[in-house]
Amino acid sequence: MKYRRLFIKLLVVVSFSACMRKNNDTMIHLVKEWEKKEIIIPDDLCFTVYGRDTVQYPELLQYTILSYVDSVGCFSCKLQLPMWRNLISQLDSTYPKKVSVLLFLHSKSESELLYTLKKNGFDYPVCIDENDKLNRLNHFPSDMAFQTFLLDKDNKVLAMGNPILNPKIKELYLKIIRGNDIVSTAGKGITQTKVHIDVSFLRLGNFDWQEEQKATFILKNIGDNPLVIQDVATSCGCTTVAYSKEPALPGKEIDLEVVYKAEHPEHFDKTITVYCNAETSPLVLKISGDAK
């Protein structure tokens, strides 16, 4: 019953995610299907740094975060390596020898994958699953939001969802790791306010792909309580956002400074998801343009 309650609460958390298109019946079925399911890891897969230096198989600790990433769509966008680096660093410093992180990457182009790893300076061991063995063995959901799992010491699923893409999932994972009672705080116990955004979609036009582009979104607090940004997630590692961590008092504003740096010539549509204490949170902002 403990795990059933945990998964029901996970379902509540996931339902607050932006861009969630699944209906409740589908989500419930998916959650129940993976409840306490054991993830099978093939024995012949190895972990390397930049595809060259084979390292010892990461020690399985009390908890494991396992993430599978395939090459469908924008591979570097799905990887979000800087955010993974930050999470791994946080786990290592806060919960030493308690959480292992296993990243399984399946790409049709190993050269593209290695380029992405090197460009981001990501020297944490990863498994390059050339033949997609892990997915073939476990039949992961096709939705990338459900291809990351928190496992116990026996590789059984405690929770599912991507903590990099959804701060509420990250919050849930950390609560389980800490051993706290699993209670969703989505919309509960948080003083809310109202936000006005003049423009939520900005076109950056045509530009040289080697020149970074900047855009600013302004969030104005039109409510009665301070506005606090809890987290910001982008749909691609090529998009970064800077903002003040200080609360904006009623009538004041917070500027979101967005920087887009193309990796190659392309037309792009990128999404910035802002998690805050606004009644309409999460806020979805978009930029588009043509990097020539």
- Domains in the chain, please, with CATH? 2-178 (3.40.30.10), 195-291 (2.60.40.10)
Residues 192, 193, 196, 200: what is their CA dihedral angle, to the nearest 10 degrees?
A: -10
Cα distance between residue 97 and residue 167, in whole Å: 23
Q: What is the pLDDT along the chain (292 residues), one digit of tens a residue?
A: 444 455 545 554 554 443 444 455 666 677 778 888 999 999 888 899 988 877 776 677 899 999 999 876 666 677 888 889 889 988 988 888 899 999 999 988 888 888 888 888 899 999 999 999 999 999 998 888 789 999 999 999 998 888 988 877 888 898 888 875 443 344 445 688 999 999 999 999 999 999 999 999 999 999 999 998 888 888 777 888 999 888 999 999 999 999 999 888 989 888 888 888 898 888 889 999 999 9
181 φψ region: left (φ > 0), alpha (ψ -120 to 50), beta (else): beta
Angle at 112 between CA 214 and CA 42, to 5 degrees: 125
Cα distance between residue 96 and residue 8, in whole Å: 29
